[in-house]
Every structure is written in C-alpha cells, then in structure tokens.
C-alpha cells in the first residue's frame, strides 16, 4: 500500500479497491457485533467492535490519503537493487523486532505481525487471483486472524463438507502405505490457522476426513520464514536473546478444534457443554506443530475420539480440557501402530479463558440426577490410562478449585458477565465465600 502521496493512477486504483474492501469488512464486523450482543456474548461483541473500529480507521486513513492534494511530481530516483538490503533499514523488521522484544518474546505477537504483513502485502486480495486454489485460505485469515478454513456448527454442515471433498487418489495411498485411505474425503492441504473448528452444542460426527498439512512446505511458509530470519538476524545484531519460531512451529494451529456453543447465555469460557460428538475414522498428519484433536475451553459430555490415525510434529495430538465422559479408543499413528499413551492428555475444565481457572472436581445438588444436563462430573474415560488423566491434578500457574457447584456458578455468571481475568477471579472468590467452591492451595 502506498505510504506517500502519489499521482500514479495504478496506486490510486489499489487504494480505492482497499477502501471498498475495508468498508465491507467493517459492515460485516458491525453485523457480527450486533448478533453477539443479541445473545449476550459480550466478549465476542467487544472483539467484533474493535475489529470494526480498526477497519473504519484504516479506511479513513486511506480516504484522507486519496483526497489529499497531489504534490508537484518529481523525477523518481534510479533504484539501486541489492540482493540483501540491510536488515536495519527495513522498517517492518525493526519495528516488529523491537515490539517482539518488548513483549518478552511473545511468539503470538511476532507471528500475527508477520501474517498481517504478508496478507496485506504480496498475498493481498489484489495480488492473489480469485481463482487461485489458496485464495479462500488467505481471505479467511485476512478478515479474521484466528478463523479456521472450515466452520462446523451442525451435522448437516459436517456432511456437506464431506460431500464437497474428493476421495484420495493413488498418490495419497502411496504417501500412507500402511493405511486404507479408500472411503476418506481429502481436505485442502493448505490452511493457515485451524483446518476446522466445531462450534456447536453437539450431536455431530466428524468422520472419514484426510487432513494433511502441507502448508509448512508452501511458498507462503517460505516467505513467512524469510521475515522470521530477518527479524532474528536483527535480534542477534542487537544482542537480544529472543528468537521468533518459524512457521513449522507456529502455535494455535489445530486440525480439529472443539468449542461448545452458547447455552442459556453461557459460552465455553463459563463451562458450556458440548454433547454427543464423535471424531472417528480420520487421518491427521503434519510435520509442523499442528494440534490434532484439541479443546481448551468448555466441557464435553459423551465425546468419542475413535479409530483415527494421527501423526503431528507438535505436542498435542489428542488434548482435551473438561472432558466429562466418553472414550478415546483405537487410535493409531500413520504406521498403523497403536497411538502412544504420551500422545493423549486430559486436563481439568478451564474457566475464563486466559484467567486460567481450573475445576478439579464438582459438587452436584442432591436433586440433580446424573442424567440431568446440569450434572457435571468427571467419569473414567475408556481408553485413557490413569497416567494421562490430569483432570483432578493441580495445574501450574493456574488457580484451581474443587467441589465447584456449576449451577451456582452459572447463576453468578449470568448476573455479572465477567470479562477480565480479575473479574473472573472475583466471581470465583464470591462462589467460594458462599460455600459453593473450594480453592486448592
């Protein structure tokens, strides 16, 4: 995008197109904000409000640039081309490195800045043809940094996705010779963030998908890593210890992420429950830090993760917070050997997102039967050894509670709608003072 005033017709056309795009994005963000407010999801509403305001501010900046009086043209200097321009002269590199260093080496900050630079620059909507096979993946993350390639909200959408995808070819079978890929549906191998987010109250089967992450070897990843290398070289020149990870190690990328939908005004951060979901018969593969089947927020009743073949380069192959009941059984690696116990982990229900409040155990009123939707209890999970079940163990750097009465907690949440970690902590203190939770010291 031009940073100085110019009379170039081409530059002005690019700016006009960008203004139209920003206005469209701002309108969409405003619509989503209002929809979130209607269901009392204030956290989501704040996100969309901030995004709308950001789009509008950028649109105004470009409009002001477009309407500014043009200066008298001066002859353009003859460009001097060098193979490797000095890193210190690159404003993006120095600015990003300085902020990355000030953040204490936050990988999220650096990765988000690099993604934005690429998607607003050489991978912008004006640079990538609409018929490019990867255009949708670029556009999704350009509009919302955390968006998955596919949203699944109900069984009809899950089935429609399967129906839209081709069956694997002979090359896929050769790639995974010990597995039977017939009957699978081959998903796109390029996705920048998650492949899929299942955002629902439940009753869904995610099955027979081949999710192969070749993004880590794409030209996009190579361009990403060039910026990483330049930032790290500048960090080295400045004598700083922090280094940005390459795309291969980018965090928060999931093959299948499970997120309970809003129920009675309570979202996943307040312990909303996803019921009756099966993730079965899928093939998930990545050499990068892709997380296989993953959930950090909300509770999961009757969740079954069975007969999948998984191999990833990251830490979390199957990792679930808040699993109340179900099974994790019959999964293998891509060589068709039983999945190692170390690839599976169960953690306590997490409340408040980044507030890092964990529920190690529940207390149900005598009037609430085990078949009641309001009943919370950790049951034994078929197929998970005790050594990989951490649901009732204290989580380092978290605040942990036992004997939590979820009915009383949900009543408090509906009246207070906590947003910040401090507000969440205050809710839990009040719950404890009323005798409906016990802090674990």
Token code pair at residue 366: 């005598």
Pairing of strands 399-402, 438-440: antiparallel
Q: How does the average pLDDT of the chain come out, rounded? A: 88
Q: What is the pLDDT of residues 155-180, one digit of tens each?
A: 999 999 999 999 999 889 999 999 99
According to the model, what pLDDT value does residue 58 have?
64
CA 18 to chain centre: 26
Please choose, from the candidates 331, 391, 394, 321, the residue with its C-alpha nearest in 3D space to the C-alpha of residue 362. 391
User: Per-residue pLDDT tens for 255-286?
Assistant: 999 999 999 999 999 999 999 999 999 999 99
Cβ atoms of 298 and 260 closer than 8 Å: yes
Cα 319 to chain centroid distance, Å, stands at 14
Rounded to whole angstroms, the Cα distance separating 139 from 124 reads: 8
pTM score, whole prediction: 0.78
Residue with tokens 């892709």: 290
Q: What is the pLDDT along the chain (441 residues), one digit of tens a residue?
A: 333 233 455 566 666 766 776 777 777 667 767 776 776 665 555 555 655 765 676 677 667 666 765 444 444 444 443 343 344 448 999 999 999 999 999 999 999 999 999 999 999 999 999 899 999 999 999 999 999 999 999 999 999 999 999 999 988 999 999 999 999 999 999 999 999 999 999 999 999 999 999 999 999 999 999 999 999 999 999 999 999 999 999 988 999 999 999 999 999 999 999 999 999 999 999 999 999 999 999 999 999 999 999 999 888 899 999 999 999 999 999 999 999 999 999 999 999 999 999 999 999 999 999 999 999 999 999 999 999 999 999 999 999 999 999 999 999 999 889 999 999 999 999 999 999 999 997
What pLDDT digit, counting tens, does each position of 100-114 carry? 999 999 999 999 999
Distance (Å, whole) CA 194 – CA 212: 12
Beta strand 357-359 pairing with 283-286: unpaired
Q: What are phi and psi of 80, to 5 degrees?
A: -110, 115
DSSP state of 130: T
- For the chain, how many residues are written? 441
Q: How far apart are CA 370 and CA 364, in angstroms?
A: 9
């Amino acid at each position: 995008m031009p940073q100085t005033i110019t009379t170039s017709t081409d530059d002005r056309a690019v700016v006009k197109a960008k203004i139209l795009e920003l206005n469209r994005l701002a309108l969409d963000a405003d619509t989503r904000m209002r929809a979130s407010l209607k269901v009392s999801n204030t956290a989501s509403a704040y996100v969309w409000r901030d995004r709308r305001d950001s789009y509008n501010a950028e649109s105004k900046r470009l409009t002001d640039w477009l309407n500014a009086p043009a200066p008298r043209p001066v002859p353009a200097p003859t460009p001097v081309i060098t193979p490797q321009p000095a890193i210190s002269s690159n404003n993006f590199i120095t600015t990003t490195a300085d902020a990355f260093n000030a953040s204490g080496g936050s990988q999220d900050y650096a990765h988000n800045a690099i993604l934005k630079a690429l998607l607003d620059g050489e991978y912008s909507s004006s640079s990538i043809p609409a018929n490019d096979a990867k255009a949708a993946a670029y556009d999704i993350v350009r509009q919302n940094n955390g968006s998955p390639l596919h949203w699944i909200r109900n069984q009809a959408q899950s089935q429609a996705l399967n129906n839209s995808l081709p069956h694997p070819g002979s090359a896929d079978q050769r790639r995974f010779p010990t597995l039977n890929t017939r009957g699978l549906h081959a998903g796109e191998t390029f996705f920048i963030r998650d492949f899929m987010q299942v955002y629902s109250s439940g009753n869904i089967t995610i099955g027979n998908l081949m999710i192969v992450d070749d993004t880590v070897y794409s030209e996009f990843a190579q361009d990403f890593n060039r910026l990483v290398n330049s930032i790290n070289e500048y960090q080295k020149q400045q004598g700083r210890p922090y280094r940005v990870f390459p795309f291969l190690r980018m965090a928060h990328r999931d093959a299948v992420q499970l997120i309970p939908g809003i129920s009675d005004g309570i979202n996943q951060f307040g312990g909303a429950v996803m019921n009756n979901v099966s993730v079965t018969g899928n093939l998930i593969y990545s050499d990068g830090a892709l997380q296989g089947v993953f959930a950090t927020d909300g509770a999961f009743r009757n969740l079954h993760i069975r007969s999948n073949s998984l191999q990833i380069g990251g830490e979390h192959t199957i990792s679930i917070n808040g699993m109340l009941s179900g099974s994790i059984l019959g999964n293998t690696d891509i060589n068709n050997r039983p999945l190692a116990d170390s690839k599976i982990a169960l953690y306590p229900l997490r409340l408040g997102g980044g507030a890092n409040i964990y529920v190690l155990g529940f207390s149900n009123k005598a009037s609430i039967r085990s078949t009641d939707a309001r009943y919370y209890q950790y049951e034994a999970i078929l197929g998970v050894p005790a050594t990989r079940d951490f649901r009732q163990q204290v989580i380092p750097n978290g605040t942990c509670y036992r004997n939590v009465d979820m009915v009383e907690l949900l009543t408090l949440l509906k009246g207070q709608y906590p947003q910040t970690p401090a507000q969440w902590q205050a809710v839990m203190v009040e719950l404890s003072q009323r005798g409906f939770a016990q802090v674990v010291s």
